[in-house]
């Protein structure tokens, strides 16, 4: 087990651990945030993107003559123009878990000869105003020869419709996780049960749509791209390579970002196309995605099925899991498209002590919008499968739902507890990972106690005033702190201004506030004395961004390293002034004093040159926050409507730097999970046409849907893997919702023998389940 780097209690905590009001709020509340469409530039041209109206076809002709004649149109570009400039159409690279098997499946940045989903970019109209660009788009004539469509997993697996010419067909890669000897335990287990599950396709649906503003400076041959988010440094390297530019002549500027949830900020086709136009035409050009484009071209998620089996002994101890799953990735592998099928395979066992696992998952390409990560990728899905199976096992074995979980959750003596090994895993340090620390019984017991689980048991499965009541539980783990490292730069200017920059990006989660709390404590200053400059590639040489609940853990740990180096530099400079050894210098708020007597202010030490230090934190060990959720629902058998009467999630996050924002992550994540469990559904028809193309068709939670959500944040087991003790907290709320609500609905309808296995649990689906019995 990794040893603590530095016990959190040894550090100062004036701000850390305190529910500080956020710095970001001061501009957001006044309407002074600067999101990408708010960036002002002179002489900006606007782009509209003509997208494929059909899901699968061969492009025969693109007639642009009429459109070009429209006054105000500057240019219309297609794949041909990109080939002329670049030699070929560049492909969207894979950022996470790249596998060369997928090289022939990558998405061209613009459709070239073939379209594979409704919404794929075909032509770019550049015009003086957005309205003219859209008008011109309507004048382009497209001739596309329709091909047969594979719009679901079952059709695609037949390989009668081939999306790609690669002989591996529509399902070229299978993930497999193995541990122990699943075959042996299933052959001999006292109890086994197998079930099929289906989870629907949904969208991250960030409130701000995507947008790119690109400015080419011909004189200096520099490209500035506004609207970057999440992983700007990786995206810069990708873009520079595709445009054949040195990465130092490309800058990605992160503005305020209206939500990421895993989807916003990945490298999409538009992240090449708009800068390409700017550079090719030597102009400043802007594209702001509209909501329909958002629904057809931004990464979607979930969309998978599973046939999974659990084995237990007679007392309900889990002996093993095995099974096979399919993950529908849509038409192409996106930058992070492999994360969810990989996670679903490795993390299905969640917080439980399971020694025998044999799970596999095929990735499947279909004629739909490509898929990527969405808050709790693969984790939400596999939690639903695992928790539903465990609930069925409890029922079959006559065990209490709390008791069966109590028997199986991990305890300190089990730590560190390894997950199954995943393959293929081509990158070092990624095949194996282990739960780092904690007593998972504590969050279970706390949740059951605070929820008044026992006191409510008299309602379990009862019909009261025409509705069935049900209670459900779900235990979970949340993976955090993806490596390999993070950087933090800290500067003390000659005028006394202290700034710092971190590779963690600000996507609305409050990272400016949280990292400033850490920096202030480390430097013994007030938060108002330090300014965080965030996210742009102009500020640091390299950074890794915000995903996998990593921005606080990795970025915050890098900040502590930067402050250590800064104080060391203060000691060195002060020792020269005070004529003593650096070890004799004590550094406190703004002052360095010698144990031999005498002191000097920090400002005096930078009168000739500023101090700049570069901190870093490197780790390939993931942290695992953990918790438990309980739900109380009512189900109306007449309408199929589910009401969430009460819901509590308890998560131990190791250390909450800002309890206010952690609580906000848990509650917000929970409601996003509820929305994905009960309301949201991206629907395509058999021809791959999107049937839910607006926010009036695609329902997300509103203020009236889930009023009763409670969250409790615990800090009992700080992570031993980083100086903060933090474990990340952005996804836990979401992970457990499907399991908890699914189990509550099953228990509500137990007298009807209904076991939900398919999401969303929409009124129609629930009504149908009731009436099928």
Partner 1 sequence: MQVKMTVNGKLFESDLAPRINLADCLRHEMDLTGTHVACEHGVCGACTVLVNGDAVRSCLMLAVQANGQSVVTVEGLSSDAELSALQASFRKHNALQCGFCTPGFITTAHALLTQEPNCDEDRIREVLSGNLCRCTGYVPIVQAVLDARVAYQQMGVK
Interface residues with partner 1 (CB under 8 A) are 21-22, 24-35, 37-38, 40, 131, 204-209, 256-259, 261, 290-291, 507-510, 660-661, 663-664, 667-672, 694-696, 700-704, 706-707, 709
Whichever of 394 and 737 has its CB closer to partner 1, that residue is 737
Q: Are 601 and 706 in contact (CB under 8 A)?
A: no
Minimum distance of partner 1 from residue 295's CB (angstroms)? 10
Distance between CA atoms of residues 87 and 81, nearest Å: 10
Is the CB of 572 or the CB of 709 nearer to partner 1?
Answer: 709
Helix, strand or coil for residue 35?
Answer: coil
Residues in contact with 49: Cβ distance below 8 Å, sequence separation at least 6, in sequence order? 121, 123, 124, 125, 137, 270, 273, 287, 293
Whose Cβ is closer to partner 1: residue 420's or residue 668's? Answer: 668
E strands in 636-681: 642-652
Residue 464 DSSP SS3: strand
Q: 3-state DSSP call for residue 448?
A: helix
**Whole-number Å distance between alpha carbons of 379 and 77:** 40
SS3 for 100-114 is HHHHHHCCECCCCCE
In this structure, what DSSP letter does residue 731 have? S
Q: Which of 465, 462, 551, 573 is nearest to 503 (CA)?
A: 551
* DSSP assignment of 159-185: TSS-SSS-TTTT--EEEEEEES-HHHH
DSSP state of 333: B
Smallest separation (angstroms) from partner 1 to the CB of 136: 15
CB of 709 to partner 1, least distance (A): 5
Q: Which helix (H) or strand (E) holds 322?
A: strand 318-330
Q: Which is nearer to partner 1, 34 or 58 (CB)?
A: 34
29 vs 58, beta carbon nearer partner 1: 29
CB 204 within 8 A of CB 261: yes
Least Å distance, CB 749 to partner 1, is 26
- What is the smallest separation between the CB atom of 656 and partner 1, expressed in angstroms? 13
In the bound complex, what is the minimum distance in angstroms from residue 703's beta carbon to partner 1? 4
Q: How far is the CB of 734 from partner 1 (least distance, A)?
A: 11
Nearer to partner 1 by Cβ, of 21 and 187: the residue is 21
CB of 412 to partner 1, least distance (A): 32
State the minimum distance, in angstroms, from the CB of residue 570 to partner 1.
34
CB 266 within 8 A of CB 299: yes
Q: How far is the CB of 40 from partner 1 (least distance, A)?
A: 7
For residue 384, how far is the Cα from the chain centroid?
18
Question: Which among 261, 256, 322, 263 is positioned nearest to 294, based on CA atoms?
Answer: 263
Secondary structure class of 401 (helix, strand, coil): helix
Measuring CA to CA, how many Å separate 254 from each of 184, 233, 250, 275, 694?
A: 53, 10, 13, 15, 27
CB nearer to partner 1: pick between 438 and 508: 508
Residues 6+ apart with CB under 8 A from 513: 20, 21, 22, 23, 24, 527, 658, 661
369 or 670, CB closer to partner 1?
670
- Comparing CB distances to partner 1, the nearer of 287 and 617 is 287
| Rounded-to-integer distance, Cα 231 and Cα 511, Å | 14
Q: Which is nearer to partner 1, 212 or 364 (CB)?
A: 212
Nearer to partner 1, 198 or 660 (CB): 660
| Entry field: residues in the chain | 773
Which residues share a beta bridge with 490?
500, 613
CB-based contact 308:389 (threshold 8 Å): yes
Least distance to partner 1 from the beta carbon of 743, Å? 21
Q: Are 357 and 349 in contact (CB under 8 A)?
A: yes
Query: Nearer to partner 1 by C-beta: 254 or 358?
Result: 254
Strand, helix or coil for residue 652: strand
Which residue from 411, 352, 414 is spatially nearest to 382, judged by alpha carbons?
A: 352
Of 464 and 703, which CB lies nearer to partner 1 in the complex structure?
A: 703
Minimum gap (Å) between residue 431 Cβ and partner 1:
34
Rounded Cα distance between 205 and 259, Å, is 9
Query: b/e string for 588-619 if b means 16 or more Cβ within 10 A?
Result: eebbbbbeeeeebebeebbeeeebbbebbbeb
Q: Based on CB atoms, which residue is closest to partner 1, 269 or 675? A: 675
Query: Is residue 35 within 8 Å of 257, Cβ to Cβ?
Result: yes
Cβ proximity to partner 1: between 345 and 675 the closer is: 675
| Pairing of β 485-492 and β 611-618 | antiparallel
Quote the least distance from Cβ 130 to partner 1, whole Å: 9
């Amino acid at each position: 087990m990794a040893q603590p780097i530095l016990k959190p209690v040894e550090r100062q905590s004036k701000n850390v651990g305190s529910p500080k009001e956020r710095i970001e709020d001061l501009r957001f509340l006044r309407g002074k945030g600067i999101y990408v469409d708010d960036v002002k530039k002179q002489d900006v041209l606007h782009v509209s993107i003509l997208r494929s109206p059909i899901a699968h076809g061969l492009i025969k002709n693109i007639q642009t003559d009429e459109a070009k004649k429209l006054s105000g149109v500057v240019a219309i570009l297609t794949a041909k123009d990109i080939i002329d400039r670049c030699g070929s159409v560049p492909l969207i690279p894979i950022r996470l878990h790249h596998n060369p098997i997928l090289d022939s499946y990558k998405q061209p940045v613009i459709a070239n000869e073939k379209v594979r989903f409704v919404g794929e970019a075909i032509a770019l109209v550049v015009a003086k105003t957005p309205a003219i660009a859209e008008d011109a788009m309507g004048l382009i004539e497209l001739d596309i020869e329709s091909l047969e469509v594979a719009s679901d997993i079952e059709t695609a697996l037949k390989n009668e419709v081939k999306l790609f010419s690669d002989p591996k067909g529509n399902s070229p890669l299978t993930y497999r996780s193995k541990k122990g000897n699943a075959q042996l335990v299933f052959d001999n287990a006292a109890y086994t049960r197998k079930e099929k599950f289906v989870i629907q396709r949904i969208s991250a649906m960030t409130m701000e749509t995507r947008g790119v503003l690109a400015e080419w400076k011909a004189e200096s041959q520099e490209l500035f791209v506004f609207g970057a988010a999440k992983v700007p440094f990786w995206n810069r390297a990708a873009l520079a390579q595709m445009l054949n530019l040195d990465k130092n002549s490309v800058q990605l500027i992160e503005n305020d970002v209206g939500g990421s949830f895993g989807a916003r900020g990945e490298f999409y086709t538009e992240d090449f196309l708009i800068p390409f136009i700017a550079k090719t035409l030597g102009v400043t050009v802007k594209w702001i995605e509209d909501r329909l484009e958002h629904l057809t071209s931004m990464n979607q998620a979930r969309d998978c099925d599973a046939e999974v089996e659990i084995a237990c002994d007679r007392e309900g101890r889990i002996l093993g899991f095995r099974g096979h799953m399919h993950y529908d990735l849509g038409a192409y592998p996106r930058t992070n498209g492999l994360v969810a099928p990989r996670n679903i395979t490795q993390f299905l066992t969640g917080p439980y002590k399971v020694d025998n696992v044999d799970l596999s998952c095929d990735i499947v390409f279909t004629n739909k919008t490509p898929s990527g990560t969405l808050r709790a990728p693969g984790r939400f899905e596999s939690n639903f499968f695992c928790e539903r199976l465990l609930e069925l096992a409890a029922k079959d074995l006559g065990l209490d739902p709390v008791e069966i979980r109590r028997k199986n959750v991990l305890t300190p003596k089990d730590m560190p507890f390894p997950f199954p090994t995943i393959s293929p895993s081509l990158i070092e340090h990624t095949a194996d990972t282990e739960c780092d620390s904690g007593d998972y019984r504590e969050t279970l017991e706390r949740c059951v106690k605070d929820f008044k689980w026992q006191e409510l048991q008299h309602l379990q499965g009862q019909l009261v005033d025409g509705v069935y009541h049900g209670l459900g539980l779900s235990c979970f783990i949340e993976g955090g702190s993806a490596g390999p490292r993070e950087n933090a730069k800290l500067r003390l200017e000659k005028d006394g201004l202290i700034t710092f920059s971190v590779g963690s990006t600000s996507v609305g989660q409050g990272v400016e506030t949280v990292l400033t709390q850490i920096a202030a404590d480390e430097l013994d200053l007030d938060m108002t004395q330090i300014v965080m400059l965030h996210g742009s590639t102009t500020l640091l040489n390299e950074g890794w961004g915000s995903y996998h609940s990593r921005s606080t853990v990795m970025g915050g740990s890098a900040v502590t390293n930067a402050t250590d180096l800064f104080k060391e530099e203060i000691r060195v400079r002060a020792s020269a002034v005070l004529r003593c050894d650096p070890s004799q210098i004590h550094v406190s708020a703004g002052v360095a004093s010698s144990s031999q007597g005498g002191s000097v202010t920090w400002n005096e030490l930078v009168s000739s040159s500023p101090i700049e230090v570069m901190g870093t934190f490197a780790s390939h060990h993931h942290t695992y926050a953990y918790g438990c959720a309980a739900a109380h629902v009512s189900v109306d058998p007449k309408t199929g409507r589910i009401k969430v009467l009460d819901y509590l999630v308890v998560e131990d996050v190791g250390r909450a730097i800002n309890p206010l924002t952690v609580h906000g992550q848990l509650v917000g994540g929970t409601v996003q999970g509820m929305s994905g469990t009960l309301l949201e559904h991206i629907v395509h028809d058999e021809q791959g046409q999107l049937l839910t193309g607006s926010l009036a068709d695609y329902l997300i939670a509103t203020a009236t849907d889930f009023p009763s959500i409670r969250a409790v944040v615990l800090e009992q087991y700080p992570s031993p893997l980083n100086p903060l003790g933090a474990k990340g907290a952005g996804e836990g709320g979401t992970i457990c919702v499907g399991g908890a609500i699914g189990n509550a609905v099953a228990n509500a309808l137990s007298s009807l023998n209904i076991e939900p296995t398919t999401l969303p649990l929409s009124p129609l689906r629930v009504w149908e389940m009731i009436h099928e019995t």
